[in-house]
Amino acid sequence: MIHTGFGATASRLVRVASVVLVIATISACSMFGQAKIKDEEIIPADTLYQTALSDMDKMNYNHALDSLKKLERQHPYSEFNEKAKLMEVYANYRISKFDEAILAADRYMALFPSSDEMAYVLFLKGTSYFAQIADITRDQQLSQDAISTYTLLITNYPKSDYAKDARDKMVIAVDQLAGKEMSVGRYYAGNGQYAAAINRFRTVVDKYQTSTHIEEALFRLTESNLALGLTNEAQTAAAVLGHNYPSSDWYKEAIDLLQRVGLEPKVNSASSLATSLQG
């Protein structure tokens, strides 16, 4: 019993000594081994700006961004502030850091709402969304964001150098949104959920009339309404399709589909679709 007690006491003393040693070691490191934080060298604002410009000319956009961030950090109120923030939007866009470009564009517009470069910044922001648009099977929020930004640009700066390009890109973005609706509509129709499918195809007809999917949407409305026994709506959809796209292959298919059940394209004046795309 005496030896056991002595062993336990010795063990506790060893553990205490170890803890003291660790504490002493940490204290010694704190006193003698801790690296001092070196103050950042302050570089003149014009030097940082010219360095960034030079890097931009050489397409060294990452290096340019380093200088621009340092310029903002060291000289937040310099005469180069506005130009530097504009360069930051462009540099991020050029290296495909699209989320950063969008944030930089928002900051620029908030700080300089009267800037002559507003149309350009909106274009860069819209195109940063546009560049990320995925295939039609995925969420199309980016397409919607691109359209909203381009719409703002075209509405406020219709004569700017960027308005035409924005319109061209909007056509593609709208097509993406229409394509997404068509993809979901086809899925519903393929599973016999014709009412849900009709809602999707009507969205294309009502909202995306300039898209490349409009002819198929009208055919699918013919097909889905016919599957539900809504013959008047089916005939009307086919008639609208024929009125607007008489040479369309989709129209030929719609006629064939109706003829199989003894029907033909015919406008039902009570249908809301009767006035869609007319004229």
Give the span between the Cα atoms of 98 and 101, in whole angstroms. Answer: 5
Residues 6+ apart with CB under 8 A from 203: 181
Secondary structure (3-state) at 277: coil
pTM: 0.76
Residues 6+ apart with CB under 8 A from 84: 49, 52, 68, 71, 72, 78
H-assigned helices in 81-162: 81-94, 98-111, 118-130, 141-156
Q: Is 277 left (phi over 0), alpha (psi -120 to 50) or beta?
A: left
Give the span between the Cα atoms of 53 and 144, in whole angstroms. Answer: 34
10: pLDDT strictly greater than 50: no
Q: Is 78 left (phi over 0), alpha (psi -120 to 50) or beta?
A: beta
Give the span between the Cα atoms of 155 and 200, in whole angstroms. Answer: 28
Tens-digit pLDDT profile for residues 257-267: 999 999 999 99
Where does the pLDDT of residue 8 fall: very low under 50, low under 70, confident under 90, or very high at 90 and above? very low
Where does the pLDDT of residue 90 fall: very low under 50, low under 70, confident under 90, or very high at 90 and above? very high
- Compute the average pLDDT of residues 23-52: 68
Give the span between the Cα atoms of 51 and 65, in whole angstroms. Answer: 10
37: pLDDT strictly greater than 80: no
Least confident span in 130-144, 154-168, 244-258: 130-144
- Compute the average pLDDT of residues 202-221: 95
Q: Is 40 left (phi over 0), alpha (psi -120 to 50) or beta?
A: beta
